[in-house]
């Protein structure tokens, strides 16, 4: 099965890189192709309809089996549980955005007493969580207090595995684009011509170096 590049829509370069250095790996893409073939995912779902796939599995009592396969891939790459949803999105939608990759989340700790609502919550973090991540998740939680009845207890959060910490490269989005252009048949000269037309100040050797650097990061042991 031919696999197109997984689309990534994440503004933060660090988080973009953490996802890109996973979803562009050849061994990861083979897993994506295997699952799509095994589960007969012939047409990718739109990102805002990804749960339609889960609903179909639930009707067949197979959702837990699928989630276990997702977790198995995540464990293979020694990732924390917050990668479960990005991996699922890569398989089902061919797309990952910032709302699917979180390094901090809130979940209820107990069932509570008042109106059956939970009264205590925990903030879950990973080794990659920043203060800004905490501030954002707290702000989101406060704005959703009235919807707390809909909060579902989470059973897939943050097993004690370390996330890969590749060197963050400021040009990761650009280099990824060149990497895939070259992988799909464009010559270094063609990539250079287009880059210069966009105002990039770079040489052919610079193009090659950037692509090779990105390619090397995909084979880093994690």
Domain regions of the chain by residue span? 7-99, 104-150, 172-217
C-beta separation of 180 from 26 below 8 A: no
- Of 104 and 1, the structure prediction assigns the larger pLDDT to 104
Q: Cβ of 151: how many Cβ atoms within 10 Å? A: 16
pLDDT tens readout for residues 173-215: 999 999 999 999 999 999 999 999 999 999 999 999 999 999 9
pLDDT of 144:
66
Q: Which of 124, 155, 127, 150 is nearest to 137 (CA)?
A: 124
* Cβ neighbours of residue 163 closer than 8 Å, sequence gap 6 or more: 18, 79, 80, 83, 126, 127, 128
* Cβ neighbours of residue 141 closer than 8 Å, sequence gap 6 or more: 106, 121
Instruction: Mean pLDDT check: name the lowest of 112-121, 123-132, 187-196.
Output: 112-121
- Tell whether the model's pLDDT for residue 106 goes beyond 80: no
- Tell whether the model's pLDDT for residue 72 goes beyond 80: yes
pLDDT of 160:
34
For residues 222 and 34, what is the distance between their CA atoms, to the nearest angstrom? 21
pLDDT of 198:
92
Average pLDDT rounded to a whole number, residues 61-80: 94
177 φ, ψ to 5°?
Answer: -60, -45
């Amino acid at each position: 099965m031919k696999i197109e590049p997984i689309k990534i829509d994440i503004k933060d370069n660090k988080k973009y890189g953490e996802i890109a250095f996973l979803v562009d790996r050849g061994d990861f893409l083979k897993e994506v192709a295997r699952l799509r073939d095994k589960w007969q995912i012939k047409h990718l779902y739109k990102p805002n309809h990804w749960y339609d796939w889960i609903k179909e599995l639930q009707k067949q009592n197979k959702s837990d089996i699928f989630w276990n396969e997702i977790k198995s891939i995540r464990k293979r790459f020694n990732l924390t549980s917050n990668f479960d949803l990005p991996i699922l999105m890569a398989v089902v939608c061919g797309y990952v955005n910032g709302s699917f990759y979180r390094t901090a989340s809130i979940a209820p700790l107990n069932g509570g007493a008042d109106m059956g609502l939970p009264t205590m919550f925990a903030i879950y973090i990973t080794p990659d969580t920043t203060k800004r991540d905490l501030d954002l998740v707290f702000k989101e939680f406060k704005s959703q207090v009235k919807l707390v009845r809909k909060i579902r207890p989470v059973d897939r959060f943050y097993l004690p595995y370390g996330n890969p910490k590749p060197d963050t490269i400021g040009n990761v989005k650009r280099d990824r684009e060149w990497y895939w252009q070259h992988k799909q048949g464009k010559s270094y000269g063609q990539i250079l011509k287009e880059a210069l037309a966009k105002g990039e100040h770079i040489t052919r050797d610079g193009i090659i170096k950037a692509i090779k650097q990105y390619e090397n990061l995909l084979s880093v042991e994690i």
